[in-house]
Amino acid sequence: MKPGYSLAQIGLHWLVALMVPVQYLTGGSIERTHHAVHMGMTPAYWDVVQHHLHNYSGMAIGLLMGVRLVLRLLQPVEIRPPGTWAGRAATALHHAFYAAIIAQACMGFVASYFWFGIAPYHVVGSRIILAMVALHFVAASWHTVVARDETVDRMVFPRGKRSADDL
């Protein structure tokens, strides 16, 4: 079997990757709707829509990342041992993604339904994840443009279907 991810792992990765920007684009609606309510006003309709989208997308991301984690444990990826500092950093970043995104979804759930006092930590978590996404994007770009290796191909093509040369 070639190194890489299963089709399910790839699909979940890209689904979460598409949903995470939705969180950043709709996050401001939370403060606007809460501010309007505290001021005795009716929040704007579009802010309420974004607020709900943010909440439910966040829960979906948390569940999808949980499924990704279970798949990762059940279907480990065959990779080269991370002997270099870059390999160790990549492994650490991937583990941190699972922890941070699942924790972020949990904090958002708690803030929405149990204790709003955790919201400032949820905001800090969003900034940490944004920095991690930026680092992940830079690393993927480096592998594609500078190193010209097959690292990114592993998350695009399912195991055993990476290139025509392999067939």
Asked whether the predicted pLDDT for residue 30 surpasses 80, the reply is yes
Q: Report which of residues 154 and 130 the model is more confident about.
A: 130
Q: What is the DSSP string of 11-37?
A: HHHHHHHHHHHHHHHHTHHHHHHHHHH
Report if residue 65 sits inside a domain: yes
Q: Which amino acid is at 64?
A: L
Positive or negative: CA dihedral 112, 109, 23, 101: positive
- The number of distinct structural domains making up the chain is 1
Q: What's 52's domain CATH number? A: 1.20.950
Asked whether the predicted pLDDT for residue 19 surpasses 90, the reply is yes
Q: What is the pLDDT of residue 2?
A: 52
Q: Report which of residues 147 and 145 the model is more confident about.
A: 145
Report if residue 33 sits inside a domain: yes
Q: Quick one: pLDDT band at residue 85, thresholds 50, 70, 90?
A: confident
Q: What is the pLDDT of residue 167?
A: 44
Look up the domain containing 106 and give its range.
7-166
Cα Rg for the chain, rounded, in angstroms? 19
Report if residue 1 sits inside a domain: no
Residues 2-25 have a mean pLDDT of: 90
Mean pLDDT, all residues of the chain: 89
Q: What is the pLDDT of residue 70?
A: 95
C-alpha 86/C-alpha 89 separation (Å) is 5
Both tokens of 125, joined, read 């978590």
Q: Report which of residues 39 and 156 the model is more confident about.
A: 39
C-alpha 13/C-alpha 138 separation (Å) is 17
